[in-house]
C-alpha cells in the first residue's frame, strides 16, 4: 500500500503539531512530528511512504497536489487543527475530486476532539483516525487490502452511505521502543533548516522521549485530545540511542524534547543524563518541564547538556492554579526557579491570562509573580479553549466563547485571537493586557541588564535578536490592525 502523509497548505505559517496553532510572533515552526512518527510505523509495517510538509516548504494547493500525484498514493493522510479545519477539508475536497479512488484520512487534534462534526463537513473525508493514530493507519491499510472490516479498527471513524460510525478508542501504545526513530524520517523527507523554535539555537530538531502526561491541567490540549493522561516512556537506552544517531548524522545545534512533560519520572531523567555523559556527546538540549524538579536532578540535567527548561507557571494566583488543576503551588514554583537558576539552567516561563476566575487584579498578580521569578524568557498569552479540553467545555457551557466559526480563531495576521469574554473581563481587555505585559516585562531595565549579562555568546545573541525582531514586527502589525 502506498501512503502519503501530508501537512497541508494554509494561508498562514502555522504549526499544526504545536499546542499553540498560530503564526507565532517569533517565527517558530514545528516539525510535523506526529505525521512523521506515523509514517515511520507505516513503513516498518511494509508500506511505501511519502511525506510532504507544505507549510514549511511554502507550497500552495496546486503545488502540493502535484507532488502527491507524482507519488500516486492509495491513502492520503492529512493533519488538521481547529484554526485550519475548514481549509484542510477544502484541500481534501480538491484532491478527492481529481482522485476519487484515493482514500482520505484526517488526523490531529480537531478531528479527534470533534470526529462526527468533522466527518459531516464533507463526504470527501473517508475516514478519521482519532487520537494516537500510528497503528490505526496500518490497520486501515489492512481494511483496504480486504484483511479487515472497518468495524474492526479501533480508533477509526468511518462512513457507510450517510451513516457515520465512530469505533471505540484505540488502546494507547505501550511499547514506544517499537516505533522507528523520527529523526531518520526527518532526514529523508524534510529540510532541517526549515524548522525553528525561538527559544532554541538554529537549526534544531524535535523528538519525543515519551507520550502522555499524568497531570490534570484543564486547558492542556495533547493529554486530553491526542496522547492521553497515561505517561508512557521510551526506555532511556532507546531514547539515548536516537540522540546518538542525531549527534552523528544531523547538523543541528539543539535538540528539543517535545514531551508534554519530560521530567515526570525523575529517576528516568537521571538515567538518560547518565547515558548522555557515558556516550560523551556534547549536546545542547531543552525540554518541557514542570516546577517540581529537585535540585540534584536539575544539576544532572545541566551536566548532560540541558540548556533551557520550558515551564508552565500559568498564573501567580493560587486560586486560579487550583481551579485549572495545575497541581503546583506558588511556593513550589519559587523554589524550583531558584534551584534551576542555581544549577545554571535557562528558564522559559509560560504565563496564561483569561483562565477561569481571572480578573484584572489576578492578572497583575501574575505579572508581579513573573517579575519576582524573572525567567530568562517569558510568554504572556491569552487562554484558548481548544475543543476536547475541560476548559473548552466549561467556556461553551457558560457561553463565554465569542467565535462563531472556526475561521474566527485566528486574526488577520494569523495569530490566535482572544475568543473568550467574561462578564467582568472582556476579550478586548485580555488582548490589550497580554501585549502590555510582554512590553512591560521585556523593556524593564532590570530584565535588559539580566539578558545582556547571561547571553554573551554569539549564538545566544543571534537567537534573541531573531526572536525579538519577529516579535517587534508582530506588535507593529497589531497596532496597525
Structural domain including 51 reads 2-166
Q: Do 267 and 392 have their domain in common?
A: yes
CATH number at residue 150: 3.40.50.2300
The set of cell numbers assigned to 86 is 475548514
Alpha-carbon distance of 220 to 199, in angstroms, equals: 20
Where do we find the cell 516561563?
349
Q: How far apart are CA 122 and CA 126, in angstroms?
A: 9
**Is the confidence at residue 253, as pLDDT, over 80?**
yes
Taking the C-alpha atoms of residue 153 and residue 167, their distance in angstroms, rounded to an integer, is 7
Q: Which of 147, 180, 148 is nearest to 41 (CA)?
A: 180
Q: 150: closest CA among 136, 133, 171? A: 136
Residues 300 and 218 in one domain: yes
Q: What CATH number does residue 204 fall under?
A: 3.80.30.20
pLDDT value for 470:
55
Provide the number of structural domains found in the chain: 2
Domain for residue 369, yes or no?
A: yes
Does 183 reside within a domain?
A: no
Residues 157 and 205 in one domain: no
CA angle 366, 371, 373 (to 5 degrees): 90
Are residues 155 and 244 both part of a single domain? Answer: no
Cell numbers representing residue 12 in the block? 498562514
In a domain, 190, yes or no: no
**Alpha-carbon gap, residue 218 to 289, rounded angstroms:** 17
Q: What is the pLDDT of residues 155-200, one digit of tens each?
A: 999 998 889 999 999 999 999 999 999 999 999 999 999 999 988 9
- 184 within a domain of the structure (yes/no): no
Q: What's the chain's length in residues? A: 481
Q: Look at residue 440 and tell me whether its pLDDT is greater than 90.
A: yes
Q: Do residue 334 and residue 464 come from a single domain?
A: yes
Residues 29 and 147 in one domain: yes
Are residues 361 and 439 located together in one domain of the fold?
A: yes
Domain membership of residue 193 (yes or no) is no
pLDDT at 80 over 90: yes
Residue 45 resides in a domain:
yes
On average, the pLDDT of the chain sits at: 94
Q: Is residue 182 domain-resident?
A: no
Residue that wins the pLDDT comparison between 421 and 464: 421
Given this model, what pLDDT does residue 134 score?
98
Q: Cβ atoms within 10 A of the Cβ of 187, count? A: 16
CB 210 within 8 A of CB 257: no
Q: Which residues lie across from 394 on neighbouring strands?
A: none
* Statement to judge: residues 150 and 284 lie in one domain: no
Q: What pLDDT, in 10s, does the model give residues 361-394?
A: 999 999 999 999 999 999 999 999 999 999 999 9
Q: What is the mean pLDDT of residues 36-61?
A: 98
| 411 in the same domain as 306 | yes
- Within-domain flag for 194: no
Q: What per-residue confidence (pLDDT) applies to 463?
A: 46
Amino acid at each position: 500500500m502506498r501512503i502519503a502523509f501530508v501537512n497541508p497548505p494554509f494561508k498562514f505559517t502555522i504549526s499544526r503539531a504545536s499546542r499553540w496553532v498560530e503564526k507565532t510572533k517569533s517565527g517558530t515552526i514545528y516539525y510535523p512530528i506526529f505525521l512523521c512518527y506515523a509514517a515511520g510505523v507505516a513503513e516498518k509495517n511494509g508500506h511505501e511512504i511519502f511525506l510532504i510538509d507544505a507549510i514549511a516548504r511554502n507550497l500552495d494547493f496546486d503545488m502540493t497536489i502535484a507532488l502527491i500525484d507524482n507519488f500516486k498514493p492509495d491513502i492520503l493522510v492529512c493533519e488538521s487543527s481547529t484554526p485550519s479545519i475548514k481549509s484542510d477539508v477544502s484541500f481534501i475536497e480538491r484532491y478527492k475530486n481529481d482522485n476519487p479512488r484515493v482514500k482520505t484520512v484526517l488526523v490531529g487534534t480537531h478531528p479527534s476532539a470533534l470526529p462526527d462534526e468533522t466527518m459531516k463537513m464533507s463526504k470527501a473525508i473517508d475516514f478519521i483516525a482519532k487520537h494516537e493514530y500510528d497503528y490505526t493507519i496500518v490497520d486501515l491499510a489492512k481494511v483496504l487490502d480486504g484483511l479487515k472490516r472497518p468495524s474492526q479498527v479501533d480508533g477509526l471513524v468511518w462512513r457507510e452511505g450517510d451513516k457515520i460510525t465512530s469505533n471505540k478508542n484505540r488502546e494507547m501504545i505501550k511499547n514506544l521502543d517499537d516505533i522507528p526513530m523520527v529523526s531518520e524520517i526527518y532526514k529523508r523527507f524534510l529540510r532541517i533548516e526549515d524548522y525553528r523554535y525561538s527559544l532554541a539555537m538554529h537549526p534544531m530538531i524535535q523528538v519525543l522521549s515519551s507520550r502522555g502526561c499524568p497531570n490534570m491541567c484543564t486547558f492542556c490540549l495533547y493529554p486530553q485530545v491526542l496522547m492521553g493522561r497515561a505517561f508512557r516512556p521510551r526506555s532511556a537506552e532507546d531514547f539515548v540511542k536516537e540522540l546518538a544517531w542525531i549527534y552523528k548524522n544531523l547538523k543541528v545545534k539543539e535538540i528539543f524534547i517535545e514531551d508534554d512533560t519530560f521530567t515526570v519520572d525523575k529517576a528516568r531523567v537521571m538515567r538518560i543524563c547518565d547515558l548522555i555523559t557515558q556516550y560523551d556527546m556534547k549536546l545542547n538540549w531543552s525540554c518541557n518541564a514542570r516546577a517540581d524538579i529537585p535540585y540534584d536532578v536539575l544539576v544532572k540535567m545541566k551536566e548532560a547538556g540541558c540548556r533551557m527548561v520550558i515551564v508552565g507557571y500559568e498564573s501567580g494566583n493560587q486560586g486560579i492554579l487550583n481551579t485549572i488543576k495545575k497541581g503546583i503551588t506558588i511556593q513550589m514554583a519559587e523554589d524550583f526557579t531558584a534551584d534551576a537558576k542555581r544549577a545554571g539552567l535557562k528558564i522559559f516561563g509560560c504565563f496564561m491570562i483569561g483562565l477561569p476566575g481571572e480578573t484584572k487584579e489576578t492578572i497583575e498578580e501574575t505579572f508581579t509573580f513573573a517579575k519576582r521569578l524573572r525567567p530568562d524568557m517569558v510568554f504572556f498569552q491569552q487562554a484558548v479553549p481548544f475543543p476536547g479540553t475541560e476548559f473548552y467545555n466549561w467556556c461553551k457551557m457558560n457561553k463565554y466563547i465569542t467565535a462563531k466559526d472556526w475561521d474566527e480563531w485566528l486574526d488577520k495576521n494569523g495569530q490566535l485571537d482572544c475568543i473568550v469574554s467574561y462578564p467582568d473581563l472582556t476579550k478586548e481587555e485580555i488582548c490589550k493586557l497580554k501585549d502590555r505585559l510582554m512590553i512591560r516585562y521585556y523593556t524593564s531595565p532590570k530584565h535588559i541588564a539580566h539578558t545582556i549579562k547571561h547571553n554573551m555568546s554569539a549564538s545566544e545573541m543571534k537567537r534573541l535578536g531573531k526572536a525579538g525582531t519577529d516579535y517587534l514586527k508582530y506588535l507593529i502589525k497589531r497596532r496597525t490592525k
